Amino acid sequence: MSGKPGLRDVARVAKVSLSTASRALAQPGLVSPEVRARIEQVCVELRYIPNRTAKRLSVDRSDTIGVIVPSIANPLFAPAIDGVRTVLDARNFGMLINSAELDPLRELKQVRTFLEHGVDAILTLMPVHDEQLFELLEYSKIPAVFINSARSETTHPFVEHDNFGAMRAMAQKVIDAGHREIAIISGPRSSTPIIFERTTAALETLAGSGVQPSLDWMIECDYDPVPARAAVRALLTSGRVPTALVCTGDQHAAAAVIEAQALGLRVPEDISVTGCNDVPLALLCEPQLTTVRLPYRELGETACRLALEMLEGNTPQRRTLLPYEVIERGSLGRPRTA
C-alpha cells in the first residue's frame, strides 16, 4: 500500500477477492449491487487508477489504434485525424499517431513500432507504401485500413475520395462555362498518386471537349505560397494568357487569384480560377473560390469505423468512395471572348 493502489488494494479494503473487484468494474452485472457499490466506493476513496497495461497483457487488446499520416503539419490531414479522434473518443479508445514524412520506409518502421506497442488496428494516410508493409501487416494479422491509397493487390479495406470524379466535375464546369484556353496547375505529380489522378481527370475531361493544354500550360509546383505564386506569375507573364486556371488544390487556386490580381487581371472577368478540397482559405479569397469539396473529416471517421468493425470480427466492405460536391462561388465565370 506504499505506492499507487492497485486493484488488489481495492479488493482488500473492500473485503472482497481480487477477482470480484475486477468483475465489479468490468462486468458489473455479475456482482451483487451492494458489493459493487462498496467496491466503487473504495475505488474513489483510494483514487484507484486502473492499469491498462496490465489489462492489455492479459486480454491482448489495447483499446488503442495507431494512425500514420504523411505529415502532421499538412492542414489537410488535420480534419481527417480529428475525424478519427472523434469516433475513437466515443469508444474510449486511445490514438497513437505518427508522421512518416512521406517516406514509405519510415511508415514501415512506424508500423513495427505500433505493433510493439500493441495497437489493435492501424490506419494509414500515406499515399504510397513499401512492399514489405503488406507482408508485415499480413504476418501480424492486424486490422489495417488504408486512407487515400487504394491497393488492388491486398484485401485491406480502404476509403478514398473520388478524386477523379471531383476533378472531372470541376473541369467540366469550366468547359461548360465556355472556356477553351485552360491551364492546369497541380502539385508535384510524382509525389502522390492523388495529384496524378486529379490531373489526369482534368486532362481527360478537357480532351473530351477537344481541349489540349500545351505543355507550358501544365504547371507542377509546390504548395507553399511563394513557389506557388512564382509559378502562377511565370505562367501569366510569358506570352499567351489562358482564360481559366484549373488547380488541383485550393492553395494553388488562392495563389493564382492573388497573383492574377496583382498583375491587374480581374477574377473571374479576365481569368477564371478553380480549386479543389474546399479548405477555409477558399472563403478568404476575393472572389471566393469555386471549388470541389472533398470530405476530409469523413475520411478519418469512416476509416476508423471500418477498423473498429474489423475489431469486432466483421468484414467490412473493401472499398469506400466518399462523395464530392462542386461548390460554386465567385472565381469561375465565362471567358471574356465568349
Extract the runs of DSSP E, i.e. beta strands, from the chain: 64-69, 94-99, 121-124, 144-147, 158-161, 182-186, 218-220, 244-247, 272-274, 291-293, 319-322, 325-327
Applying CB under 8 A, does 232 fall inside the site for its own copies?
Answer: no
Could you say which of 1, 2, 13, 32 contacts DNA (CB under 7 A)? 32
Which of its own copies, DNA, none does 138 bind, CB closer than 5 to 8 A by kind?
none
The angle that helices 104-117 and 131-140 make with each other, rounded to 10 degrees, is 10
Applying CB under 7 A, does 17 fall inside the site for DNA?
Answer: yes
Which of its own copies, DNA, none does 31 bind, CB closer than 5 to 8 A by kind?
DNA
> Given 3-state DSSP classes, what are the helix, strand and coil percentages for the chain, each rounded to the nearest 5?
45, 15, 40
Cell numbers placing 292 = 470541389
In the complex, least distance from residue 278 CB atom to its own copies, rounded to whole angstroms: 12
Applying CB under 7 A, does 60 fall inside the site for DNA?
Answer: yes
CB 11 within 8 A of CB 20: yes
Contact region for DNA (CB under 7 A) — 34-42, 84-92, 228-236, 303-311? 34-42
CB 124 within 8 A of CB 115: no
In the complex, least distance from residue 188 CB atom to DNA, rounded to whole angstroms: 42
Q: Long-range contacts for 208-213 (Cβ within 8 Å, ≥24 apart)?
A: 209/175, 209/180, 211/175, 211/180, 211/182, 213/182, 213/183, 213/184, 213/242
Which residues, 120 to 159, sit near its own copies by CB under 8 A? 139-140
Q: Residue 242: in which H helix or E strand, if any?
A: none
Which of DNA, its own copies, none does 326 bind, CB closer than 5 to 8 A by kind?
none
DSSP 24: H
Applying CB under 7 A, does 35 fall inside the site for DNA?
Answer: yes
Applying CB under 8 A, does 261 fall inside the site for its own copies?
Answer: yes
Applying CB under 8 A, does 99 fall inside the site for its own copies?
Answer: yes
Q: Where on the chain is the footprint of its own copies (CB under 8 A)?
A: 4, 47, 49-54, 56-57, 62, 64, 71-75, 78-79, 81-82, 85, 89, 92, 94-99, 112-113, 115-118, 139-140, 224-226, 229, 254-255, 258-259, 261-262, 280-281, 283-286
